[in-house]
């Protein structure tokens, strides 16, 4: 049986069952401290480097945020590229070009589902995956003249200099039970947020984030802070590629499934849109679907008006050859609340500072 990590990471109570996790968490913390004490030498890419990351595992909504920033950079006349680790990818290639900005060059299994989804959504923006973001960036710069490097999930990537470090925090549950992995969801202690330049509180439209805002402003004074939300955008039926607004789900009988970090949030979204959930199945994050699983859920959907999943899930099984009229996915968009102009003014200032620094140093790359 798969462990319910979401439930474990929300529990603060110490029990005999959590003892092994607490021990592993202690050892993990030792490793984190050693890594911070003896960090690798930092390398510099030939351009502006913006890191988008988080403090916890999964579920803060980095993918739509990365898409929003990349689209802005492209509109501003920059040549952006997304550099990702490619979590869960099957390709052993050291540096893999997922997209050259025009065509997708690999499968979701080879690249990892999130880089593949970004490659599908972003035209004109190369997506490169590698454990070494530096080598990925050099490839992109050499092939595509990239001058705006967006590090997807880059906060813990210590080997690369960045000009702007942004951390996303889920306003509904920013730190889980405050324990490090695997007992809790934290990749690093909360005090490491001091390294960030700015915070974006995601899903802050779903309730008051005032307590978190007060905490961040007192604990980390002087850091820029922004709020955002994820909005349902379209209901897509890939068999016919018909698209509808989210109001389409009002009053519909919906069967649904997903394999994301916080499946309950997908279910809540459907419920808030007025759907009647008659069947819901949650898989682990990044679940590799089989054709048999999808066909079984089609049967379980029964008399439902549609069988829904997330866009991130859809890309993982779209090549399985399953054809069903009811099968659909929901797209979402990332929206900054009230201070979009302030946010991108901050980015513009950092870009100018980066260009000034490059001129002073003669544009050297390490």
pLDDT in tens, 156-169: 999 999 999 999 99
Q: Is the pLDDT of residue 51 over 70?
A: yes
User: Within a domain: residue 160?
Assistant: yes
Overall average pLDDT of the 132-138 stretch = 97
Domain check: are 141 and 101 in the same one? yes
CA distance 205 to 337: 8
Overall number of domains in the chain: 2
Q: Is the pLDDT of residue 35 over 90?
A: yes
User: Within a domain: residue 4?
Assistant: no
Domain check: are 245 and 328 in the same one? yes
User: Within a domain: residue 289?
Assistant: yes
Overall average pLDDT of the 139-145 stretch = 98
Least confident of 21-25, 164-168, 335-339: 335-339
User: Within a domain: residue 55?
Assistant: yes
Domain check: are 221 and 165 in the same one? yes
Helix (H) or strand (E) holding 84: strand 80-84
Least confident of 59-63, 204-208, 254-258: 204-208
CA distance 206 to 266: 13
Q: Which one, of 349, 342, 357, lies nearest residue 47 by Cα?
A: 357
Domain check: are 184 and 305 in the same one? no
Q: Which pLDDT belongs to residue 56?
A: 95
Residue 83: give the domain boundaries. Answer: 48-229+335-361
The mean of the pLDDT values for the chain is 93
pLDDT band at 231 (very low <50, low <70, confident <90, very high): very high
User: Within a domain: residue 219?
Assistant: yes
Domain check: are 285 and 345 in the same one? no
Least confident of 14-23, 32-41, 171-180, 203-212: 203-212
CA distance 189 to 291: 40
Non-local CB neighbours of 269 within 8 Å, separated by 6+ positions: 232, 330, 332
Q: Is the pLDDT of residue 366 over 70?
A: no
User: Within a domain: residue 148?
Assistant: yes
CA distance 29 to 15: 20
What is the largest distance, in Å, between two alpha-carbon atoms of the chain? 67
Give percent of the chain above pLDDT 70: 96
Domain check: are 248 and 195 in the same one? no
Q: Which one, of 7, 347, 9, 37, lies nearest residue 192 by Cα?
A: 37
Q: Which one, of 79, 76, 82, 75, lies nearest residue 99 by Cα?
A: 82
Q: Which one, of 293, 296, 337, lies nearest residue 313 by Cα?
A: 293
User: Within a domain: residue 12?
Assistant: no
Q: Which pLDDT belongs to residue 151?
A: 97
pLDDT band at 1 (very low <50, low <70, confident <90, very high): very low
User: Within a domain: residue 43?
Assistant: no
Domain check: are 109 and 196 in the same one? yes
Q: Helices 62-75 and 113-121 sit at what angle, rounded to 10 degrees?
A: 30
Q: Is the pLDDT of residue 207 over 60?
A: no
Helix (H) or strand (E) holding 331: strand 327-336
Q: Is the pLDDT of residue 17 over 90?
A: no
Domain check: are 238 and 296 in the same one? yes
CATH label of the domain that carries residue 292 = 3.40.50
More confident: 15 or 193: 193
Overall average pLDDT of the 49-76 stretch = 94
Give percent of the chain above pLDDT 90: 84
Q: Which one, of 23, 332, 337, lies nearest residue 183 by Cα?
A: 23
- Backbone CA torsion sign across 220, 221, 223, 224: positive
For 97, phi then psi, to 5°, come to: -85, 110
Domain check: are 91 and 107 in the same one? yes
Torsion of CA 126, 129, 130, 135, to 10 degrees: 0
Could you give the C-alpha distances from 249 to 78, 232, 245, 312, 335, in angstroms and in order? 38, 11, 8, 19, 21
CA distance 272 to 191: 35
Q: Which pLDDT belongs to residue 356?
A: 86
Domain check: are 84 and 222 in the same one? yes
Domain check: are 356 and 289 in the same one? no
Q: Which pLDDT belongs to residue 9?
A: 87
pLDDT tens per residue across span 214-224 = 999 999 999 99
The answer to whether residues 21 and 187 touch, using CB atoms and an 8 Å cutoff, is no
CA distance 207 to 318: 34
Q: Which pLDDT belongs to residue 363?
A: 62
More confident: 349 or 358: 349
Overall average pLDDT of the 321-345 stretch = 94
pLDDT tens per residue across span 273-306 = 999 999 999 999 999 999 999 999 999 999 999 9
Q: Which pLDDT belongs to residue 18?
A: 87
Domain check: are 85 and 124 in the same one? yes
Q: Is the pLDDT of residue 238 over 50?
A: yes
Q: Which pLDDT belongs to residue 7?
A: 77
Pairing assessment for the beta strands 224-237 and 242-244 based on DSSP bridges: antiparallel
């Amino acid at each position: 049986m798969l462990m319910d990590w979401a439930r474990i990471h929300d529990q603060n109570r110490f029990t005999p069952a959590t003892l092994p996790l607490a021990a592993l968490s202690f050892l993990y913390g030792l490793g984190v401290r050693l890594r911070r004490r003896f960090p690798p030498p930092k390398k510099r890419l030939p351009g502006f480097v913006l890191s988008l990351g988080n403090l916890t595992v999964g579920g803060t909504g980095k993918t739509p945020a990365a898409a929003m920033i990349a689209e802005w950079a492209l509109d501003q006349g920059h040549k952006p590229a997304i550099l990702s680790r490619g979590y869960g990818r099957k390709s052993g290639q050291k540096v893999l070009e997922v997209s050259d900005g025009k065509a997708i060059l690999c499968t979701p299994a080879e690249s990892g589902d999130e880089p593949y989804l970004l490659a599908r959504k972003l035209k004109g923006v190369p997506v490169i995956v590698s454990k070494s973001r530096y080598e990925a960036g050099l490839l992109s710069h050499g092939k595509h003249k990239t001058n705006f490097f967006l590090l997807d999930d880059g906060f813990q990537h210590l080997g690369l200099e960045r000009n702007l470090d942004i951390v996303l925090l889920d306003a509904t549950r920013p730190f889980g039970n405050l324990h490090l992995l695997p007992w809790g969801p934290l990749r690093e202690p909360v005090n490491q947020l001091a390294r960030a330049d700015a915070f974006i509180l995601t899903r802050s439209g779903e309730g008051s984030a005032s307590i978190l805002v007060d905490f961040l402003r007192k604990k980390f004074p002087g850091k820029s802070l922004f709020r955002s939300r994820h909005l349902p955008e379209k209901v897509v039926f890939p068999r016919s590629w018909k698209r509808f607004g989210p109001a389409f789900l009002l009053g519909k009988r919906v069967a649904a499934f997903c394999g994301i970090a916080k499946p309950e949030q997908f279910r809540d979204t459907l419920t808030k849109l007025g759907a009647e959930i008659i069947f819901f199945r949650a898989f682990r994050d990044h679940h590799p679907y089989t054709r048999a699983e999808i066909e079984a859920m089609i049967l379980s959907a029964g008399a439902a008006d549609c069988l829904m999943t997330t866009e991130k899930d859809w890309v993982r099984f779209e090549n399985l050859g399953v054809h069903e009229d009811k099968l659909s996915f929901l797209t979402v968009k990332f929206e900054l609340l009230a201070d979009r102009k302030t946010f991108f003014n901050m980015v513009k200032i950092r870009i100018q500072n980066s260009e000034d620094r490059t001129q002073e140093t003669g544009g050297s790359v390490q």
